[in-house]
Amino acid sequence: MDEPTREELDEWDRRIVWHPFTQMAEYEPLILQRAEGCTVVDVDGNRYLDGTSSLWCNVHGHCHPRLDAAAKEQLDRVAHVTALGCSNPTTIRLAKRLVDIAPEGLSHVFFSDDGATSVEVALKMAFQYWRQCDRPRPEKTRYIALADAYHGDTLGSVSVSGVARFHAMFEPLLFATDRLACPNPYHPPSGVAEADLLEHAVGELEAVLADHHERIAAMVIEPLVQAAAGMIVHPPGYLKAVRELTRKYDVFLIADEVAVGMGRTGKMFACQHEGVAPDFLCLAKGLTGGYLPMAATLTTDRVWQAFLGNYAESKSFFHGHTYGGNPLAAAVALATLEVFEEEQTLKNMQPKIARLAEHLDRIKTMPHVGHVRQCGLLAGIELVRDTSTKEPYPWQEKRGIRVCNHARTEGVLLRPLGNVVVIIPPPAISLEELDRICQAVENGIRAAVA
């Protein structure tokens, strides 16, 4: 078959490929062909710095020699082995490694293939646990989740998510969830000062738990940062308080670290910033350094034990994904963890985190910048029509998109969340590259609010 022409690629991409979260009637193809380090290159040879880590996934850069070699070596052995009643050495080694580095008590690993499925697995495991543990409590069937949460796009994960613009339409298909306000320092509830936000949010949680814990199976949370909600950073201490309260009321804590895990916040797992060990830890995105689809749900021995029994008791976890635990993905995930050590990734992130903070300090003073927030190498810049009243720009004005369109003309790829400009470079970014990304953001904001 002949190679398609540049025009054919463009035309097929508009007409045949259905892109996620994309209005196809307005879609303008951006066709990336190759990459090296933190730079991606399109079919016309244009080079862009990857300011989104390929949608929050990439860690050590693209085409990293160690990760490439790990994939190729595994390819010479076997590309896929089912995990249903079967195993392979690479996936076993990865499970062992994850358990070794995870917060205390997380001693078992269930593999799937995407962030949404890692959450779906945790929700179902928690539910099933309460039906078949030693002293069953089958009335524990509900979940607590935060407003504006994002846990993925399968129906179970959407049920605990709360981004109205994406999810309201599917309401009739979803199960009911007990919803708490998102502790957002820029928009505290009316009558609550920012300094009192933590106490207020913890009080609200305790009230719900005190009244309803008998029927609540688990609380699900994105630790420290609600990423898709607009990089909203919770007040320090909130996660720790959530852990203490869920433990007090015997409600499981599901930590969705799909976005914040794998080093993004400057520690391997966000929970470690507050010394928290959840009952379930969900990982995906950065797990393979941004190479291959893979997800993991880690859990405790307490949960594992409740699923043990005779075959005839049917206590097994009847859930699985064909590609769960795929050895090719596992080989790259294992190499990703090794590179964290070899390249001292977490230590080397510290000056980059500080540099990003310096840039944000400057950007914070620009007209129409309402709020900036940062956690490690995750940052959000919220643009508003009026900084004194916090009046938002109507989302239809696409202010965030305009910033990113401008940045692209300066060779920087970004993707906004509504009116929030997001900066998530790979942890492998250099200081000089980070400077260029932030400069493009600054110029983009100036152009977009003019």
Ligand X SMILES: *Cc1c(COP(=O)(O)O)cnc(C)c1O
Provide the minimum distance between the beta carbon of 230 and ligand X in the complex, in angstroms, as a whole number: 12
Out of 114, 382, 433, 442, the only residue in the binding site for ligand X (CB under 6 A) is: 114
Amino acid at position 423, single letter: I
* Packing angle, helices 431-449 and 399-409, rounded to 10: 130
What contacts 225, CB < 8 A, 6 or more positions away?
Answer: 231, 232, 233, 234, 259, 260, 265, 270, 375, 378
Out of 121, 228, 233, 379, the only residue in the binding site for ligand X (CB under 6 A) is: 228
Out of 258, 378, 413, 437, the only residue in the binding site for ligand X (CB under 6 A) is: 258
Nearer to ligand X, 131 or 415 (CB): 415
Nearer to ligand X, 50 or 256 (CB): 256
CA distance 444 to 450: 10
Which residues ranging from 279 to 308 are in contact with ligand X (CB under 6 A)?
Answer: 284-285
Q: Is 120 in the site for ligand X (CB under 6 A)?
A: no
What is the residue whose two structure tokens read 């990304």?
437
**Count of residues touching ligand X (by CB under 6 A):** 15
CA distance 24 to 230: 23
| Stretch 124-163: interaction string toward ligand X, x if CB under 6 A | --------------------------xxx-----------
Nearer to ligand X, 146 or 434 (CB): 146
Q: Could you report how far apart the first and last alpha carbons of the chain are, in Å?
A: 49
Tokens at 371, concatenated: 């709020």
CA distance 156 to 117: 9
Nearer to ligand X, 261 or 370 (CB): 261
Out of 106, 116, 182, 423, the only residue in the binding site for ligand X (CB under 6 A) is: 116
Residue nearest to ligand X (CB): 115
Which residues ranging from 338 to 367 are in contact with ligand X (CB under 6 A)?
Answer: none
Out of 259, 306, 424, 445, the only residue in the binding site for ligand X (CB under 6 A) is: 259
- CA separation, residue 311 to residues 227, 256, 318, 409, 436 (Å): 41, 31, 12, 61, 59
Are 226 and 145 in contact by the 8 Å Cβ rule? The answer is no
What residue ranges bind ligand X (CB under 6 A)?
114-116, 119, 150-152, 222, 227-228, 256, 258-259, 284-285
